[in-house]
């Protein structure tokens, strides 16, 4: 099996999409892109500000436009926001020539990992755990439907998750070949340290 054009990570807030995405990209010799961070860069404002001023609908418009653009890129691992699956028009964008990975995480882990976060407007209230539970009810079937790979992340280090993902995505390529391909890409992108 050859490598897919893109690996798209979906899953709830606190699933570890950015941490795992960054490490996975390195391992595959791909670039890592985070849809939320690029929206913030383009907009010159953070997500709470966008929610405040444009509402969740405004944010979702930006998110769809961003996914449309980023899913034309090849050789990337793309981390998406937890709500990217909420619009059905996003589904073909997420699936197109991609391996979609659902990082599945317990509510307890999501609560723990997002406890101190101030950058997620949907969780800035008295009962973020209930919010996460309600979102899970609605979104888990969508993540599952879209996913080519469902990967549980509870009680696993990011390193272990990445190793298991690499084996699922590209089981036949031995490590030394992946390393050689990665070095080739680093060289082309001028990021080689050797």
Give the sign of the dihedral formed by CA 131, CA 136, CA 137, CA 139. Answer: positive
Decide: is 81 part of the binding site for ligand S3P (CB under 6 A). Answer: yes
CA 164 to chain centre: 16
- Give the C-alpha separation, 19 to 22, whole Å: 5
Please identify, using beta-carbon distances, which residue of 131 and 170 lies nearer to ligand S3P.
131
Binding region for ligand S3P (CB under 6 A) out of 20-28, 115-123, 142-150, 154-162: 115-123
* Residue among 38, 121, 156, 158 that touches ligand S3P (CB under 6 A): 121
- Of 99, 101, 40, 97, nearest to 72 (Cα)? 97
B/e letters for 42-67, b = 16+ CB within 10 Å, e = fewer, are ebeebbeebbeeeeeeebbebbeebb
CA distance between the termini of the chain: 29
* Residue among 28, 83, 93, 165 that touches ligand S3P (CB under 6 A): 83
Decide: is 122 part of the binding site for ligand S3P (CB under 6 A). Answer: yes
State the Cα angle at 133 between 132 and 135, rounded to 5°: 65
Site for ligand S3P in 15-54 (CB under 6 A): 17, 36, 47
Decide: is 120 part of the binding site for ligand S3P (CB under 6 A). Answer: yes
Binding region for ligand S3P (CB under 6 A) out of 22-30, 99-107, 114-122, 152-160: 114-122
Count of chain residues binding ligand S3P (CB under 6 A): 10
Identify the helix (H) or strand (E) that includes residue 101.
Answer: strand 98-104
Shortest Å, Cβ 177 to ligand S3P? 32
Please identify, using beta-carbon distances, which residue of 6 and 120 lies nearer to ligand S3P.
120
Backbone angles phi, psi at 111, to 5 degrees: -60, -45
Decide: is 82 part of the binding site for ligand S3P (CB under 6 A). Answer: yes
Please identify, using beta-carbon distances, which residue of 3 and 43 lies nearer to ligand S3P.
43
- Grouping H, G, I as helix, E, B as strand and the rest as coil, residue 6 is strand
**Binding residues for ligand S3P (CB under 6 A):** 13, 17, 36, 47, 81-83, 120-122
């Amino acid at each position: 099996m050859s490598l897919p054009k893109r690996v798209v990570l979906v899953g709830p807030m606190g699933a570890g999409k950015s941490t795992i995405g960054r490490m996975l990209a390195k391992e595959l010799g791909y670039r890592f892109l985070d849809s939320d961070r690029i929206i913030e860069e383009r907009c010159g404002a953070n997500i709470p500000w966008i929610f405040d001023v444009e509402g969740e609908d405004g944010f979702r418009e930006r998110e769809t436009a961003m996914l449309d653009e980023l899913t034309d890129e090849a050789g990337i691992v793309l981390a998406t926001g937890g709500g990217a699956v909420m619009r059905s028009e996003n589904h073909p964008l997420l699936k197109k020539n991609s391996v979609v990975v659902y990082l599945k995480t317990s509510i307890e882990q999501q609560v723990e990992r997002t406890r101190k976060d101030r950058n997620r407007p949907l969780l800035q209230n008295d009962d973020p755990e209930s919010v996460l539970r309600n979102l899970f009810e609605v979104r888990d079937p969508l993540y599952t439907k879209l996913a080519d790979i469902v990967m549980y992340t509870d009680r696993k280090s990011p390193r272990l998750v990445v190793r298991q993902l690499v084996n699922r995505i590209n089981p036949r390529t031995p490590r030394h070949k992946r390393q050689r391909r990665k070095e080739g890409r680093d060289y082309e992108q001028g990021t080689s340290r050797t």
